[in-house]
Amino acid sequence: MRAKTIFSITFAATLFAFQAAFGFQVESDSLKTDSTATAPNDTICYELDFAVGDTLYYRVESRDSVIIGRDEPLTKKRYERIRIVCDSIKNERFFLSQTLIQYMSYESKGDIKDVKREKSPWVGRTVWYEIDSLGNRYNYGYDDSLTAALTPGGAFQPAIIFPFQRNCRAKNKTWMVETLNELPENGLPVPLINQSSLFRAISYVDTLEERCARFQYIKTGQGSYKVVGGKDTVKATCRVNGFGRYDISVEKKVPFTYFATIEQKLRLFVGEKQTKIGWHYLTSEFILDRYLPAIKKEKVEPEK
């Protein structure tokens, strides 16, 4: 109970800072249904929908700055491609598989500049997760549940699909979402992040010639990632602050573009002993690069 209270106080303090930076206004009725939002032009609706066999390719461009202890910053320019496939649908929930299919990075540290890397233990790894139309998660699994590894962006990088928990909101209305998220697409063992987010409905927008429903969010949270190997347990914890802008295609009902920026304060442990403190500043942009809808077979009427 005490930990939850401290977390709430910390979130409140962070929230005020983010409100000033990004212009959010918290409505006193932010968790209530908008009884006055009846006009279509005043209401924005958000929904994810997939058919079995839908395949989506996302291009991801990221910038990282990682500082551990007093070391010089390690900076990265990362380029990735991920594939998401709808494998099945049960009880109005979608079972999606996600694979990192391509990766390239240019890394610099001190006098060493733009070292090109094209290999990562996470390339080719596939995970699956179960979601509903509002991004809520229910279950997950791995194609390889024995080999520990992390995605190139680390345990707490932004996920392209996450809970937003509201279907329709009046323009500029806000709402709160508190979740404990398991992120199998970021690594094995699964990274955990407990976060509170303040969302705001923005508007319908035309982006890259696609009609989209847009929302923004600010968030704060705490994450943990732990690997047990040999005699030692290696653990990383972090405090996360972030901002994001999310577009859902009105026609396709899938994430179309997503911009996220995150500040992570890291603490690293071996066993019970804290060894180092670090910071990871990250900016990512996801763009739907290719959309292959499932081929729906026409119903053939029997001959009379």
Whose CA is closest to 82, among 116, 125, 121, 135?
125
The pTM (predicted TM-score) of the whole model is 0.85
Q: Are 212 and 250 in contact (CB under 8 A)?
A: yes
In a 3-state reduction of DSSP, which class is residue 166? Answer: coil
Q: Residue 5: pLDDT above 50?
A: no
Total count of residues recorded for the chain: 304
| Ordered structural domains, the chain, with CATH | 2-292 (2.30.230)
- The confidence band for 296, taking pLDDT boundaries of 50, 70 and 90, is low
User: pLDDT exceeding 70 applies to what percent of the chain?
Assistant: 83
Strand runs (DSSP E) across 118-254, as ranges?
A: 126-131, 137-142, 149-150, 168-170, 174-182, 187-188, 192-207, 210-229, 232-249
Tell me the CB-side half-sphere exposure of residue 242, using CA atoms within 13 A: 32
pLDDT tens string 165-193: 999 999 999 999 999 999 999 999 999 99
pLDDT tens string 9-40: 444 444 444 444 444 444 433 333 333 333 45
pLDDT tens string 241-269: 999 999 999 999 999 999 999 999 999 99
Provide the β-strand partners of residue 86. 96
Q: What is the model's pLDDT at position 1? A: 47
| Better-predicted residue by pLDDT, 36 or 229 | 229
- The confidence band for 4, taking pLDDT boundaries of 50, 70 and 90, is very low
Q: Residue 6: pLDDT above 80?
A: no
